[in-house]
């Protein structure tokens, strides 16, 4: 096998191993989320009614499938990691940079990352006498440590929703957008915050419909995962417009309720008021205007369905890793500008 063939095979093995690791992590997260949902369902069902509950039976059946997926993922990842190590071990001679540096292409630059070194002298016995031996421990620098996680935590989803609701409310006003961004960035750091709201990671389904506020207008924002259809949509919009302008006027509030009831049943109306309530219904009118003088617009922010997201309970679900370290390190010692010993090759990383 040539050096170039070795590079290709090792890189392919590393890629497969990483994909299997991510698949296993996802399967575990799905299992955790499924169990959390099952526990929530158990709290909603009376103990004497659980035996015949179809929803609970379906959850138990699905749980078996999730556990099987985790076990299969463990096996697949173990095999991929074993294959990766086998590729390195079988052709370990290619991992010696002293002998193979010349095999690298000249048109590919070598990027050197910093390292942290710890040294100590240890007493060892050699040829019947005690001598000092230099021990060197190598640590990756912070720049080489990857702590990124692609899964969203429940807190991140909640704060991202609050960001988009605040941005919708701002109606493309620069000051309002900055305020929404500051809140999100202070909670998760600017880097993670930017990642959350970009590249489709957690953005509204109807982002293209972000409203633009005009002078003398207030935008009541409703966040939901289930868009309403007519006639419920128009009736809900009209209700909240009337409620905001009525403020505490009981006569107008009662009339708004009656108008809603002419379109939907009382049971459905109660659900609409609970699940489709504007996040900023308590906002005051713009300066210098009364509620009746203010133009009221109701706008919906449609989010991805929660069941389609692989969320996690905590922000950190895996340890940080350093994936850009070389396969091996070489220790070079110099004294007075000259090599003091032959290059010492470390074990496989």
pLDDT in tens, 223-243: 999 999 999 999 999 999 999
| Contact between 12 and 20 (Cβ < 8 Å) | no
User: For residue 159, what are the contacts with CB-CB under 8 A and spacing of at least 6?
Assistant: 183, 184, 187, 188, 196
Two structure tokens written together for 50: 């659980």
Q: Confidence class of residue 195 from pLDDT cuts 50, 70 and 90? A: very high
SS3 234: helix
Q: Confidence class of residue 148 from pLDDT cuts 50, 70 and 90? A: confident
- Bigger pLDDT: 41 vs 211: 211
User: What does each C-alpha distance from 101 to 74, 272, 341, 344 come to in angstroms?
Assistant: 36, 68, 20, 15
Give the tens place of pLDDT for each residue, 113-135.
999 999 999 999 988 899 999 89
Q: Confidence class of residue 203 from pLDDT cuts 50, 70 and 90? A: very high
| Contact between 86 and 348 (Cβ < 8 Å) | no
The DSSP code for 92 is G
The DSSP code for 136 is E
The number of beta carbons lying within 10 Å of the beta carbon of residue 103 is 13
Sign of CA dihedral 174, 176, 178, 181: negative
Residue 312 has pLDDT above 70, yes or no: no
Q: b/e per residue, 277-312, with b = 16+ CB within 10 A?
A: ebbbeeeebeeeeeeeebebbbbbbbbeeeeeeebb
Residue 59 has pLDDT above 80, yes or no: yes
Q: Which of 99-103, 302-306, 316-320 has the lowest mean pLDDT?
A: 316-320
Give the tens place of pLDDT for each residue, 29-39.
888 888 888 88
Strands 334-335 and 217-224: unpaired
| Contact between 63 and 38 (Cβ < 8 Å) | yes
The number of beta carbons lying within 10 Å of the beta carbon of residue 267 is 8
Residue 317 has pLDDT above 80, yes or no: no
Could you give the angle at the alpha carbon of 199 between the alpha carbons of 198 and 202, nearest 5°? 60
Helices 266-275, 232-246: crossing angle, 10 deg rounding: 70
| Contact between 135 and 105 (Cβ < 8 Å) | no
């Amino acid at each position: 096998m040539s050096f170039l063939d070795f590079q290709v095979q090792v890189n392919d093995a590393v890629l497969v191993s990483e994909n299997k690791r991510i698949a296993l992590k996802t399967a575990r997260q799905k299992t955790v989320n499924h169990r959390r949902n099952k526990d929530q369902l158990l709290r909603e069902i009376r103990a004497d009614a659980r035996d015949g509950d179809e929803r609970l039976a379906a959850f138990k059946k699905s749980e078996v499938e999730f556990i099987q997926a985790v076990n299969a993922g463990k096996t697949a990842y173990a095999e991929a990691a074993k294959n990766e190590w086998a590729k390195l071990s079988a052709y370990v001679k290619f991992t010696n940079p002293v002998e193979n540096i010349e095999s690298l292409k000249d048109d590919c630059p070598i990027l050197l990352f910093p390292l942290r070194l710890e040294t100590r002298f240890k007493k060892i016995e050699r040829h019947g006498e005690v001598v000092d031996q230099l021990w060197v421990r190598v640590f990756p620098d912070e720049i080489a440590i990857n702590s990124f996680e692609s899964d969203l935590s429940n807190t991140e989803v909640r704060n991202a929703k609050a960001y988009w609701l605040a941005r919708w409310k701002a109606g493309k006003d620069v000051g309002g957008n900055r305020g929404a961004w500051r809140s999100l960035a202070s909670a998760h750091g600017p880097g993670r915050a930017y990642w959350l709201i970009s590249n489709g990671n957690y953005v509204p389904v109807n982002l293209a419909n972000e409203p633009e506020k005009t002078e003398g207008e207030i935008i009541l924002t409703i966040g939901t995962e289930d868009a309403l259809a007519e006639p419920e949509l128009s009736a809900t919009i009209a209700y909240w417009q009337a409620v905001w302008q009525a403020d505490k006027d009981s006569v107008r509030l009662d009339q708004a309720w009656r108008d809603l009831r002419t379109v939907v049943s009382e049971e459905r109306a109660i659900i609409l008021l609970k699940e489709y309530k504007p996040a900023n219904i308590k906002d005051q009118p713009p300066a210098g205007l009364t509620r009746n003088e203010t133009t009221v617009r109701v706008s919906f922010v449609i989010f991805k369905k929660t069941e389609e997201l692989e969320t996690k309970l905590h922000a950190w679900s895996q340890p940080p890793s350093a994936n850009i370290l070389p396969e091996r390190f070489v220790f070079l010692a110099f004294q007075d500008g000259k090599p003091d010993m032959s290059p010492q090759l470390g074990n496989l990383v």
